[in-house]
Amino acid sequence: MTEKEKAKKGYLYDNNNDKQLVEERLHAKELCYDYNHLRPSMIAERGEVIRKLFAKTGENFLIEQPFACDQGYNIEIGENFYCNHNAVMLDAAKITFGDYVFIAPNCGFYTAGHAFDVEQRNQGLEIAFPITVGNNVWIGGGVSVLPGVTIGDNTIIGAGSVVTKDIPSGVIAAGNPCRVIREITEADKDRYPRYSSK
Q: Looking at the annotation, which residues are catalytic?
A: 114
Contacts of 150 (CB under 8 A, 6+ apart): 131, 132, 133, 134, 166, 167
Exposed e or buried b per residue across 95-131, where buried means at least 16 C-beta atoms within 10 angstroms of its C-beta? bbbbbbbebbebbbbbbbbeeeeeeeeeeebbbbbbb
Output the CA angle 75-108-181, nearest 5 degrees.
Answer: 110
